[in-house]
């Protein structure tokens, strides 16, 4: 008998899901953060080289010329345009889409909670992330470590000074990885995903990332004079749960990063897509000093309910959708 009509999550789980959705909305309502629901479909695509957008075809009438639009991989660009238009603090709890991402912790369509706080430092936003997650998960043991401290503690290497060779050697002592990659960040990410992340069960806020992993975060120097991104990540339940920035405000730097991503895509055979130049224009018009964070809502629910796959917390996972 074909059971594929059935949901991938149990109804009891979906009841819990609804409760947590309401809980999140109450949390922000109480703090005066405005809910927004920006469009899923955009004329521009995300620039991050390793995030692939889903492309959809728009037609003015059946059989007419098609136009490519892209499903948002996060509502970041649109929300920043709202911030530049003086929206004040905003949050969004909605769908995001990422091509090719399907596995125990990934579904190509998932629910993301993203919020922005004008005048908050990334430290203050970390406090708020902790407050929200604690409200959902209950009392937990929290830790805050710099990216360097995390690596030193778990693998005994300083990520800022370690060579590709030493990172590769560390990994190859446990895993067969017969490929080369001259991007140091790839090896740092592999150490993180293979050796560190699975051990981060209790919530850990990690900050001061290598400047090369800044994405849309401001870059500064830490107490040792190393260039670091004012970016933080929350790990819990052995997985990445949230990613936050002290947001980049400089339009020129923003334009440069979009171009650099696009160039990297070109050199590495990755699809090149329309860049969100309206974000640059929004920053030019004036963007508040602000911090923002995106949190995987489905994963938060997995931790709360003690479930091991994302498919168990969403009504119809990719293979049943």
Q: Please, which residue, 88 or 108, has the CB nearer to other proteins?
A: 108
Site for other proteins in 105-134 (CB under 8 A): 105-106
C-beta closer to other proteins: residue 3 or 174? 174
Residue 215 binds other proteins, judged by CB under 8 A: yes
Q: Site residues for other proteins, window 29-88 (CB under 8 A)?
A: 48, 50-51
Contact 57, 66 (CB under 8 A): yes
87 phi/psi in degrees, rounded to 5: -70, -25
Q: Of 215, 258, 257, whose CA–CA distance to 233 is shortest?
A: 215
Q: Which of 27, 102, 154, 318 binds other proteins (CB under 8 A)?
A: 102
Residues numbered 155-214 forming contacts with other proteins, rule: CB under 8 A: 174-179, 181, 185-186, 189-190, 192-194, 213
Q: C-alpha distances in angstroms, 39 versus 15, 75, 112?
A: 26, 8, 14
Residue 115 to residue 112: CA distance in whole angstroms: 10
Q: Which is nearer to other proteins, 114 or 128 (CB)?
A: 114
Please report whether residue 320 would count as binding other proteins according to CB under 8 A: no
In whole angstroms, how close is the CB of 300 to other proteins at the nearest point? 14
Residues 286-315 that bind other proteins (CB under 8 A): 294
In angstroms, give the least distance from the CB of 176 to other proteins.
4
Give min distance, CB of 156 to other proteins, in A: 21
Q: For other proteins, which is the closer residue by CB, 195 or 281?
A: 195
Joined tokens for residue 180? 């080369």
List 112's β-bridge partners, or say none.
94, 296
Q: Which residues pair with 111 in a beta bridge?
A: 95
Q: How many CA atoms lie within 13 A of 53 on its CB side?
A: 27
Number of C-beta neighbours around residue 164 at 10 A? 16
Q: Is 272 among the residues that bind other proteins (CB under 8 A)?
A: no
Mode of pairing for the β-strands spanning 109-118 and 34-35: unpaired
Nearer to other proteins, 45 or 288 (CB): 45
Q: Please, what is the minimum distance in Å from the beta carbon of residue 101 to other proteins? A: 6
Residue 100 interacts with other proteins (CB under 8 A)?
Answer: yes
Other C-beta atoms closer than 10 Å to the C-beta of 245 total: 24
Are 252 and 112 in contact, with CB atoms under 8 Å apart? no
- Residue 30 vs 176, nearer CB to other proteins: 176
DSSP string, 61-90: STTS--EEEEE-SSSHHHHHHHHHTT--SE
**266 contributes a contact to other proteins by CB under 8 A:** no
Give φ, ψ of 14 to 5 degrees. -70, -30
Quick one: 82 or 105, whose CB is closer to other proteins?
Answer: 105
Binding letters toward other proteins, positions 222-261, x by CB under 8 A: ------------------x--x------------------
* Residues at the contact surface with other proteins, assessed by CB under 8 A: 48, 50-51, 100-106, 174-179, 181, 185-186, 189-190, 192-194, 213, 215, 240, 243, 294
């Amino acid at each position: 008998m074909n059971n594929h009509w059935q949901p991938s999550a149990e109804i009891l789980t979906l009841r819990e899901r609804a409760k947590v959705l309401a809980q999140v909305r109450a949390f922000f309502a109480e703090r005066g953060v405005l809910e927004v629901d920006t469009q899923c479909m955009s004329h521009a695509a995300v620039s991050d080289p390793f995030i692939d957008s889903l492309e959809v075809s728009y037609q003015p009438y059946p059989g007419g010329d098609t136009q490519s639009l892209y499903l948002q991989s996060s509502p970041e660009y649109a929300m920043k345009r709202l911030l530049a238009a003086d929206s004040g603090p905003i949050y969004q709890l909605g769908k995001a889409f990422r091509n090719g991402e399907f596995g125990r912790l990934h579904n190509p369509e998932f629910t993301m909670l993203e919020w922005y706080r004008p005048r908050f430092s990334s430290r203050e936003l970390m406090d708020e992330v902790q407050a929200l997650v604690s409200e959902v998960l209950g009392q937990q043991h929290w830790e805050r470590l710099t990216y360097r401290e995390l690596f030193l503690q778990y693998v005994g290497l300083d990520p800022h000074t370690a060579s590709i060779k030493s990172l590769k050697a560390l990994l190859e002592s446990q895993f067969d990885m017969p490929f080369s990659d001259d991007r140091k960040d790839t090896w740092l990410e592999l150490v993180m995903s293979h050796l560190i992340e699975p051990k981060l069960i209790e919530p850990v806020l990690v900050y001061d990332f290598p400047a090369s992993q800044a994405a849309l975060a401001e870059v500064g120097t830490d107490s040792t004079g190393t260039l670091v991104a004012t970016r933080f990540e929350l790990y819990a339940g052995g997985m990445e749960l949230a990613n936050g920035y002290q947001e980049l405000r400089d339009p020129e730097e923003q334009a440069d990063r979009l171009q650099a991503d696009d160039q990297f895509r070109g050199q590495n055979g990755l699809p090149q897509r329309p860049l969100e130049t309206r974000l640059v224009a929004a920053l030019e018009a004036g963007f508040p000093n602000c911090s923002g964070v995106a949190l995987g809502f489905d994963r938060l629910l997995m931790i709360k309910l003690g479930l091991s796959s994302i498919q168990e917390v969403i009504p119809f996972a990719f293979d049943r959708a």
